[in-house]
Amino acid sequence: MANAEFRLSDRLARPLRDLRISVTDRCQFRCTYCMPREVFGRDFAFLPREQLLTFEELARLSRVFASLGVRKLRLTGGEPLLRSDLERLIAMLAHIGGIQDIALTTNGALLGGKARALAAAGLHRVTVSLDSLDDSVFMALNDAAFPVARVLEAIAAAAGAGLAPVKVNMVVRRGQNEESILAMAGHFRHSGHVLRFIEYMDVGTTNGWRLEEVVPAAEIISLIGGQWPLEPAAPAYHGEVASRYRYCDGAGEIGVIASVTQPFCRGCTRARLSADGKLYTCLFAGTGHDLRGPLRAGASDQALREQVAAIWTRRTDRYSEQRTRQTGRTQTAKRKVEMSHIGG
């Protein structure tokens, strides 16, 4: 069944095509928009080892998702490379019928020494987070005294291992790093890599999100286009979250992910699996659906398949659309799962 084309759709006719797998909730960084140190401090209780899904459990669930139409897998965290021997999991995932793409999102701290092993195991693509080329700005955001140079070295290592083009994600937060936009764009022009600007989002409930700190995608495109003219480019595939723009002089492309000002809920084909085995059907969800319990209780693949199918076919999530329409009105605070728990 995993090799057959299978279309499972939710109530808004959105197919299930992408699964984002968080392999750990831990990270060395304390980025202010994701894991602020005042919340994720020394006494924060991370998941104990026994609560994490094993590689064998992750591979089994991935086979179940593949049988329901998933074609792309992305490993996230926390920082996924903190999970020991991650290349072993990638090798297991690479042998699942129907899976066409395996990607990894990382802060880059451990990528340089692992890139070749990850590529050899079957990893296809990598996305690296980098929010500024200015060390003082970047370190203020990552709150871990981690320098820009080491991230750039990691990007080069990934490219050297065949994981090119590398996607580079920059979260833009007004008052903190919007002055780094042009320098970032200038650095990655002609590099062969794809720089993507992400609007600061209200993921979770601990990052102190305020609408006035969002730098709209339209402002970013206008700023860069004023320096280096841009033209829109067609999506690379159905459901792509980034809007693509090409430099008119042929220097490559950039992307903008505008979940706040230009929601793309209607094209969302992504499910998210937390490190402790909960299925989330939206990045902004408040609760997940337990798959670890049935898995460890001996549920068959067919039973797991039916559980996932029942969850997806009931799905109506469109949080970003609803949030955008309610901007300026009185809103009721909603408890949401933290990004560090389910990845981006």
- pLDDT per residue as tens digits for the range 244-301: 999 999 999 999 999 888 887 888 999 999 999 999 998 888 889 999 999 999 999 9
Rounded Cα–Cα distance for residues 103 and 93 (Å) = 11
What sign results for the dihedral spanned by CA atoms 254, 268, 343, 338? positive
Of the chain, the percentage scoring pLDDT greater than 90 comes to 77
Instruction: Give the pLDDT mean for 295-316.
Output: 97
Q: CATH: 3.50.30.50, 3.40.50.300, 3.30.360.10, 3.20.20.70. Which one for 18-342?
A: 3.20.20.70
- pTM value is 0.92
Q: Is 60 exceeded by the pLDDT of residue 148?
A: yes
Q: What is the pLDDT of residues 102-131, one digit of tens each?
A: 999 999 999 999 999 999 999 999 999 999
Rounded Cα–Cα distance for residues 323 and 336 (Å) = 13
- DSSP strand pairing (167-172 vs 125-129): parallel
Residue 182: closest CA among 222, 135, 140: 222
Rounded Cα–Cα distance for residues 280 and 214 (Å) = 25
Q: Which amino acid is at 123?
A: L
- Which pLDDT belongs to residue 317? 87
Q: Is 160 left (phi over 0), alpha (psi -120 to 50) or beta?
A: alpha
Q: Is 80 exceeded by the pLDDT of residue 79?
A: yes
- Which pLDDT belongs to residue 272? 96
What are the residue ranges spanned by the domains of the chain?
A: 18-342
Tell me which of 325 and 190 has the higher pLDDT: 190
Q: Is 141 left (phi over 0), alpha (psi -120 to 50) or beta?
A: alpha
From the centroid of its chain, how far is CA 102? 13
Q: Which amino acid is at 108?
A: G
> How many Cα atoms are found within 13 Å in the side-chain-facing hemisphere of 285?
21
Residue 306: which H helix or E strand, with range? Answer: helix 301-313
Using pLDDT thresholds of 50, 70 and 90, give the confidence band for residue 47. Answer: very high
Rounded Cα–Cα distance for residues 195 and 246 (Å) = 11
- Which pLDDT belongs to residue 1? 43
The dihedral over CA atoms of 264, 269, 274, 277, expressed in degrees to the nearest 10, equals: 150
